[in-house]
Amino acid sequence: MVTYGSVSGDSNHQDYLHAFLRSGSLHAGANPPNIWELIFIPWICLAIILACVTCASFSILAVLWVPFAVLVVVACLFVYAGWKKHRHGSMILGILIIIACGMALFVGLIGWCSYLYDYRRIGHGATYSNVSPYELAAAHSDATAINFMNGTTVDTSMTYGYLDGLEASDKMYCVAPVSFGGQNESTVQYFAVGTDCCQSRSSFDCGATGENATGGITLAGVPWSYPAGYESAVSGAEYTYDLTVGDQYLLLTWVDDAEEYRTKLLHKGLLLFFVFAGVYMLLSCVSGLLLHRMFTYKG
């Protein structure tokens, strides 16, 4: 039985925690919130958001934003109702849901920007196979992925790195022509590119470097409207190596195989989400246990 009246400083502090975390008095009959709710409901909301981010890479982006908005609104209603009715357990649960949704969105956007955006972009564009490096790039202006014919290589002997001294980032824009067997006997239509992966005239190490690599992923954005650094690098290579460059050349990220590269993007995104969900589950168990013990304190 709890006796009210003058209490010590420690007892006052404990009573305050109890009063904040749950409604009702400190009597032994008060029902604590379900520990499984504190652990699993926020985690399930987190898993839903991550699943929606993944689904957005196959569908429209509304698949992500609509469920996120609904879950946050519902969580806010939990918080508001708990505050109005002095049910602090509902407030805590709503806050945990909001935190879980926010963290899921943050990590989801990291995965989207790093992996799933390109996965979606490549899948929504055209893929060409067995392409000659001397075919007109304009004929593949809608391409997001190109697999070149066997024997196609990046001619690293014609590497050109352009460093724009006016840029605060000091980024090196690297280009090298795509050719057949290392011979540029015609107009250059395709360039393998990257940033900070070459010296000014050598050591091109952008993208896949294996001898059997014959795939290219087009840069995101409108074709032939590339960053000024890349355009300057192509112009520099054209002048330095006496190249003939097509008017509508394509810039590519060089990969072993375009379809395999796209599949790996999905796998990396899913791995990030699974690892994060696992770590968050552990944190949710710890926080749920601590909150449950604070709720069930009887004085």
Confidence of residue 273 (pLDDT cuts 50, 70, 90): very high
> Tokens 């050349």 belong to which residue?
249
What's the pLDDT at 170? Answer: 82
Residue 128 burial (C-beta neighbours within 10 Å; 0-12, 13-18, 19+): middle
End-to-end Cα distance, the chain: 9
Q: What is the pLDDT of residues 218-258, one digit of tens each?
A: 988 665 568 888 999 999 999 999 999 988 899 999 999 99
β-strand 160-163 against 188-195: which pairing, if any?
unpaired
pLDDT value, residue 183: 66
Spatial contact of 121 and 193, defined as CB atoms under 8 Å apart: no
What value does the mean pLDDT take over residues 160-169? Answer: 79
- Per the model's pLDDT, the better-predicted residue between 266 and 27 turns out to be 266
Q: Which two tokens mark 21?
A: 């975390």
Question: How does DSSP classify residue 137?
Answer: G
Q: 11-68 pLDDT, tens per residue?
A: 454 444 444 444 443 333 345 567 788 889 999 999 999 999 999 888 777 777 888 8
Query: Angle 185-188-194 (CA atoms, 0-180°, nearest 5)?
Result: 130
Distant-in-sequence, close-in-space partners of 44: CB < 8 Å, separation ≥ 6: none
Q: What is the DSSP string of 63-111?
A: HHHHHHHHHHHHHHHHHHHHHHTT-HHHHHHHHHHHHHHHHHHHHHHHH
Write out pLDDT tens, residues 100-122.
999 999 999 999 999 999 999 99
In this prediction, residue 135 carries a pLDDT of: 92
* Single-letter code of the amino acid located at 31: N
Long-range contacts of 22-30, Cβ-Cβ distance < 8 Å, separation of 24 or more: 22/88, 22/89, 22/295, 23/85, 23/86, 23/87, 23/88, 23/89, 26/2, 26/297, 26/298, 26/299, 27/1, 27/2, 27/298, 28/298
Query: Other C-beta atoms within 10 Å of 194: how many?
Result: 21
pLDDT value at 71 more than 70: yes
* Amino acid at position 100, single letter: A
Contact 82, 88 (CB under 8 A): yes
pTM of the model: 0.77
Q: Is 174 buried (19+), middle (13-18) or exposed (0-12) by CB count in 10 A? A: buried
Domain boundaries, the chain: 10-123+263-295, 127-256
Pull the structure tokens for residue 193. Answer: 């590119």
269 to 60, 78, 101, 107, 115: CA distances (angstroms): 17, 32, 18, 10, 6
Single out the residue of 56, 237, 98 nearest to residue 159, CA to CA: 237
Strands (E), 155-277: 160-163, 172-180, 188-195, 215-218, 245-255
Per the listing, tokens 């909001």 go with 98
